[in-house]
Structure 1
Amino acid sequence: MNVMSRPPVMAPPPVPVSAPRSRRKSELLRSLPLYLSVAPFFVLFAIFGLFPLAFSLYLSFQKWDGIGPMRFVGWNQFAYLLTDSYFWQAIVNTLEIWLLATFPMICISVVLAFLLSSPLVKARGLYQIAFFLPHITSIVAIALVFGSLFSNQFGLLNALLTALGLGRVAWLSQPWGMKCAIAAMILWRTIGYHALIFLAGIQSIPSTLYEAARIDGAGSRQIFLSITLPLLRPVMLFTVITSTISGMQVFTEPQVLLGNDGGPGREGMTIVLYLYQQAFGSYHFGYGAAIGWGLFVLIALFSLLNWLLFQRS
């Protein structure tokens, strides 16, 4: 057959370029209701979360009283922050209050959760509600109640000490008295909440481990120390980190109990209270923003330190 007589080979028809674009457009139209349903969260987060965060970082490099024009000062406010004795005193006060509140809180919460997980406990739901109520109670109301408890002259604690033949204690005038009063408020508000978190962690532990331990003759104390505590390490890490973050941001308790100056000698002055005093008391908004970012660095360092310690243990 002659080669020239063969029928020509037909090339495949070209694919329209607009087909992928139309497909993407149709997929976008189908997904549009889903994007619109989650859009309010991201819009509100951008307005009330990202914008204040970015503006505070910008403001930390400015000197501004809230009314007049801003003046760029660079790193001067951060340099002054490192030499500010009041700031370092606020850090020490915050750490002392955190230590007084966190470690007793963790110990008591774990014990309460272990006792609440016992099958002998009846009306467990009622106990859970009672434990959670202090956490959702107004902090201002709690501070007012504890102010009447720790009052120097007419406090209920001093009335009890007097009835027992002991001397009065100036709770709201002595350095450790003020810190103990603030730590007591934090304890009362957070013990029940963390006890419920530990209870959830205990309930996630397989019951076969407890049954095997009881068959081997282990008592409640051995079960608690050898099974419950080691398996609660992830929950305890979460609790320590969250309590560190919240403990570094203590504000309402000392502000209502002791005032904006942190009490006599500034012994109750925390970092956030010092930030509030500088920004909204002295109208040093730029320096207040610098204090906020210094607090952010401290929280990040302590959270990392807690994580490393728990990983090593």
Structure 2
Amino acid sequence: MTAARQRAPYLFLAPFLLLFVVFGAFPPLFAAALSLFAWDPASGYASARFVGLDNYVFALTDPWFWQSFGNTLWLALAAGVPQHLVALPLAFWLHRRAGRVRHWLLGAYFLPFVTASVAVSLTFATLFATDYGLVNQALQRLTGLPLAPDWLHDPALLKPLVALVVFWRYVGWNTLLYVTALQGVSPALFEAAALDGAGSWRQFRHVALPLLRPTILFAGTLSLIGGLQLFEEPFILTQDGRGGSGGAAATTAIYLYRTAFDFGDFGSAAAMAWLLCVAIALLGWAAHRAFRREEAP
């Protein structure tokens, strides 16, 4: 084999490897290195000063960081759990009862997922606007009272609104995952259950759910990872870039963004990003272990 033929595979792999190194490997490694430095980007790289683990100590003792992490967990659970509670029975109904219109309904449910998150957030911000929003106008007409809840600024209403937007956007994605998994289940299992007198609910509970456990774990893990990285929806809905009044809906991603670009502390922001990465890995591992433990006989 000639030297040119030996080099050919590496030449074909070179574009992917180059893109992976530049856009995949370099950013997290640079963030890991940056988390050990105090750096003012306006002064150039020469101003970087090694501080060791001080940025991590600052993040772990920062009450705003823990508040943002608590908000993130709340939103991840408030938006993620209802997604699957709705998507599972909806997928079962689509698979067993929707017939020929199943694909059209799946396309309609999936449409919010492929719509830009900025467009979705702006639409909901308009619908829930205090003075001219359609939601408040509908409440006034239905009740006859001058109701005008301040959805976008009241801390008690803002977080549920963000959770609603995230739920609406991703429930179709999870439904599609479950419908796809159900298509791999033999119809004979459902027919046998029906012959034994099992209705739709028992077929769903005793046939579909046990067979969907691997898919539920996969979809739940994706929801957990996405929920802990939540940024666009609360950032746009709050309209101030700070997570609303008192940081009521400020997620960890929003807070580390503000730490970097509003406060100019890129080292602490990088440390927060890695702490968030570790939290996602640990929570994902814990959920996987808990799920496997329940699955064991």
Judge same fold: TM > 0.5, yes or no: yes
Partners in 2 of 1:66 and 1:37 — Cα distance?
37
* 1:242-288 alpha-carbon deviations (Å, 9 max, x no partner): 11111011111111111221111110100000011011111111111
**Residue 218 of structure 2 aligns to which amino acid in structure 1?**
F
Partners in 2 of 1:33 and 1:119 — Cα distance?
53
Q: Confirm whether residue 46 of structure 1 aligns to residue 21 of structure 2.
A: yes
Q: Which residue of 1 aligns with 2:61?
A: 83
**Residue 149 of structure 1 aligns to which amino acid in structure 2?**
L
1:64–1:120 Cα change, 3 Å: closer
The CA RMSD over aligned residues, in Å, is 1.5
Q: Which residue of 2 aligns with 1:308?
A: 289
Partners in 2 of 1:183 and 1:292 — Cα distance?
22
- TM-score (norm. length: structure 2): 0.93
Partners in 1 of 2:142 and 2:2 — Cα distance?
77
- TM-score (norm. length: structure 1): 0.88
Which of 32, 36, 57 lines up with 1:61 in the alignment? 36
Q: Quick check: 129-138 or 303-312, which moved more?
A: 129-138
Secondary structure of 1:124's partner? helix
Q: Which residue of 2 aligns with 1:20?
A: none
Which of 195, 203, 206 lines up with 1:215 in the alignment? 195
In structure 2, the gaps of 5 or more residues are none
Q: Confirm whether residue 137 of structure 1 aligns to residue 115 of structure 2.
A: yes
Q: Is the 8 A contact 2:58 2:268 kept in 1?
A: no
Larger radius of gyration: 1
Q: Which residue of 2 aligns with 1:12?
A: none
**Residue 56 of structure 1 aligns to which amino acid in structure 2?**
A
Q: Is the 8 A contact 2:89 2:204 kept in 1?
A: no
1:268–1:29 Cα change, 3 Å: same
Partners in 2 of 1:295 and 1:67 — Cα distance?
26
1:126–1:33 Cα change, 3 Å: farther
* 1:104-148 alpha-carbon deviations (Å, 9 max, x no partner): 100111122111102552232222222222111111111110001
Q: Alpha-carbon deviation of 1:31?
A: 5.4
Q: Which residue of 1 aligns with 2:235?
A: 255
Q: Confirm whether residue 297 of structure 1 aligns to residue 278 of structure 2.
A: yes
Percent identity over the alignment is 39
In structure 1, the gaps of 5 or more residues are 1-25
Q: Which ranges of 4 or more aligned residues in structure 1 deviate by more than 6 Å?
A: none
Q: Is the 8 A contact 2:94 2:102 kept in 1?
A: yes
Q: Alpha-carbon deviation of 1:168?
A: 2.9
Q: Which residue of 1 aligns with 2:100?
A: 122
1:183-222 to structure 2, matched below 5 A, reads 183-222=163-202
Q: Which residue of 2 aligns with 1:22?
A: none
* 1:165-210 alpha-carbon deviations (Å, 9 max, x no partner): 1533221222231111111111111011110000011111122211
Partners in 2 of 1:138 and 1:269 — Cα distance?
21
Q: Quick check: 70-79 or 207-216, which moved more?
A: 207-216
Q: Quick check: 289-298 or 200-209, which moved more?
A: 200-209
Partners in 2 of 1:268 and 1:132 — Cα distance?
26
Secondary structure of 2:100's partner? coil
Partners in 1 of 2:72 and 2:127 — Cα distance?
22
Q: Alpha-carbon deviation of 1:39?
A: 2.4
Q: Quick check: 118-127 or 229-238, which moved more?
A: 118-127
1:37–1:176 Cα change, 3 Å: farther
Secondary structure of 1:262's partner? coil
